[in-house]
A and B are shown apart, each in its own frame.
Chain A
């Protein structure tokens, strides 16, 4: 299990390969890549700055990953989240989950992202034509995370 918060870009291919290249029990890797867009809610975005709470962020991500490992029979996983200055087209976050089969890999990947969005202390400030704009939390993200509380799907 690998959890990293970093300002530097990451190598998607290398991160995925590290999950299966030395483990012949892995039959599936599901991954999610979050990318900086040039538009949000009608605002043109020139870039964004991601702030986090050092220490608590890593703890929160580790707890979320551990809960995923408990819910599904996973073989390994990686979460990398960037902070600092990001430009449109730059990746922000990678969640990649290795398992024997695709079902648990897909489910755990989505679970980790839903929990990360609502529980890990990161904040986005977008740079628009009119200056900086803090992104507001969305109710739909809370709803997505809440699905897993009383989940009839995904659990085995």
Chain B
């Protein structure tokens, strides 16, 4: 399954990537599973996406929860809590 993943703000800088389209194993079917898969890359990924770190996930430009399902072609975004206004 192929997803488009976007990274914003401090997370984009820390991870050193703004967008990617990885090929994911079929069992990565939820937001939670995707975070686990990214975390397993180790290094800065394990640090920035560790349990308890404050980050948000959107799927197809809507805020998502850990159990939000993922489908091929989805646009997923990871970013820090927002600070506009």
Contacts and interface: CB of A to CB of B under 8 A. Distances in A.
Contacts of A117: 82-85
Contact of A93 (B10, B82, B83, B85): B85
Interface in B45-85: 54, 58, 61-63, 77, 79-85
A123 B80 CA distance: 8
A137 B54 contact: yes
Interface of B: 6, 8-10, 54, 58, 61-63, 77, 79-85
> Which 6 A-B pairs give the minimum distances between C-beta atoms?
A122-B84, A137-B81, A123-B9, A56-B61, A117-B85, A134-B10
A53 B84 contact: no
30 contacts: A34-B85, A51-B8, A51-B9, A52-B84, A53-B6, A53-B58, A53-B61, A55-B61, A56-B61, A56-B77, A59-B62, A81-B85, A92-B85, A93-B84, A116-B85, A117-B82, A117-B85, A119-B82, A120-B85, A121-B77, A121-B82, A122-B83, A123-B79, A123-B84, A124-B84, A134-B80, A134-B83, A135-B83, A137-B80, A137-B83
